[in-house]
Amino acid sequence: MKVLVINSGSSSIKYQLFDMGDESVLCSGLVERIGEEVGSLTHKIAPDTDAADKLALEQPIPDHEVGMTLAIDLICGERGVVKDKSEIAAIGHRIVHGGEKLHQPTLVDDSVVEELEKIIPLAPLHNPGHLAGISVARSLFPDVPQVVVMDTAYHQTLPPEAYMYALPYELYDELRIRRYGFHGTSHCYVAKEAARVVGKSFEEFNVITVHLGNGCSMTATKNGKAVDTSMGITPLEGLVMGTRSGDVDPALHALLARTKNMTSEDVDRMLNKESGLKGLCGMNDMRDIHAAIAKGDEKAKLALDVQTYRNRKYIGSFMAVLGTVDAIVFTAGIGENDNIVRRESVKGLECFGVKIDEEINAQRASEPLKISTDDSSVAVWVIPTNEELAIARETKDVLNG
Ligand code: ADP
């Protein structure tokens, strides 16, 4: 069975075609800068093999329909990995926000589209792009089942004390204002992988998963169910991210309105696009930050310290939430590659039984790697995430009932 996974954003479409027989990636690609003067498409055949073949093109890509049509021509055309569109059995769509109603992977029909439209106010940066992707995919593949897999799904098991904000209750009743949590597909995938490598049943596994990429979030899973997470009603709350602030005092909006005449849109943009690592030191890629620290850049060092301190604070609080912790797992771009961030994020937690082996921590691995010492009572692991494969598996499961 071949499953196409689509992650359609406001100006980009990321895709991967899986052969679910052996879960290999047949091809993958990225359409970028949709709607700009010049767009681009990068397409890779058999990207996870040594014989990977890459195609790139640049041309105006005015909308999602043109972008998707270009991609489909490469997937199914003359040089395509499948001969005909009909070989694609299902399409899985990544959806950032499913609100309170959409939490199971679900077959797309008009009512699902309507529900996603309804919750646009909860995810104005993401859901419109997803809807554009779904609409084009439905018109290009009218007979192929399409499934939506929500980033918010894994966190639907949070108890009310973790998901409610201490706000007037009417806001929850009227607008469903509550903690939703994001990166759920990634947290779920690495939490299950961790249970597997540690050798415990997921239903009896307590784990803190630390997803550190451009976006950063942390989730506490108790007995196989998410019980708390750092992101909130939007993916802004919690950890320090590439350009997002994470936690700030909610009085900031009013203060900046009074003192700098900023509108709520101005503050929102600043917190999402101009804050985080970038706000503190002007750089949002951790590799650039390390290079700058090596040259003595003090703001870069501050950015690293602020991010890793926040990570440590959240790990400590989630240890308190869980009581017994079997494992802490680092994942995503920074979590998988950056031994300094990992080391600093668990520094000082030795008294809670968290000890990492510096030498192993410095190793690079594309497979799960245990970086804690043998006498650490909490196992610390680096586990590569694979959200696309997780979406392809969910899509296949929906099809198989
Ligand atoms: P996204 O959240 O967009 O999926 P990724 O998980 O791919 O992002 O993470 C991207 C980030 O990972 C980059 O911005 C960079 O900060 C960081 N990163 C990638 N490779 C490395 C590396 N080798 N060392 C340190 N940081 C890295």
Q: What is the pLDDT of residue 239?
A: 98
Token pair of 344 as six digits: 């600093």
Closest atom of ligand 1 to CA, residue 332: 6
Residue 192 domain-assigned (yes or no): no
Query: In angstroms, what is the C-alpha Rg of the chain?
Result: 21
Token pair of 345 as six digits: 């994020």
Statement: the pTM of the whole predicted model exceeds 0.75: yes
Closest atom of ligand 1 to CA, residue 212: 6
Residue 242 Cβ contacting ligand 1 at under 6 Å: yes
Please list, in sequence order, all residues whose beta carbon lies within 8 angstroms of the beta carbon of residue 376, skipping any fewer than 6 positions away: 353, 354, 355, 356
For 86-116, the pLDDT digits (tens) are 899 999 999 999 988 898 999 999 999 999 9
Residue 287 Cβ contacting ligand 1 at under 6 Å: yes
| Active-site position among 22, 50, 53, 151 | 151
Q: Is 151 in the active site?
A: yes
Does residue 293 surpass a pLDDT of 90? yes
- Residue showing tokens 């990068």: 42
Q: Is the domain of 127 the same as that of 212?
A: no
Residue with CA closest to ligand 1 atom 22: 337
Closest atom of ligand 1 to CA, residue 341: 25
Q: Is the domain of 213 the same as that of 129?
A: no
Pocket perturbation via mutation, ligand 1, pick of 96, 185, 285, 330 by most ligand atoms within 8 A of CB: 285
Q: Compute the distance from residue 386 Cα to the ligand 1 centre, in Å.
A: 14
For 119-135, the pLDDT digits (tens) are 888 887 788 889 999 99
CB 124 within 8 A of CB 74: no
The gap from C-alpha 67 to its chain's centroid, in whole angstroms, comes to: 23
Residue 308 domain-assigned (yes or no): yes
Q: Is the domain of 71 the same as that of 8?
A: yes
CATH number at residue 237: 3.30.420.40
Total Cβ atoms within 10 A of residue 168: 10
Q: Give the range of the structural domain holding residue 119, as residue numbers without chain letter.
A: 2-150
Residue 288 Cβ contacting ligand 1 at under 6 Å: no
User: Into how many domains does the chain fold?
Assistant: 2
Of 93, 220, 105, which is closest to residue 155 (Cα–Cα)?
220
Residue 350 domain-assigned (yes or no): yes
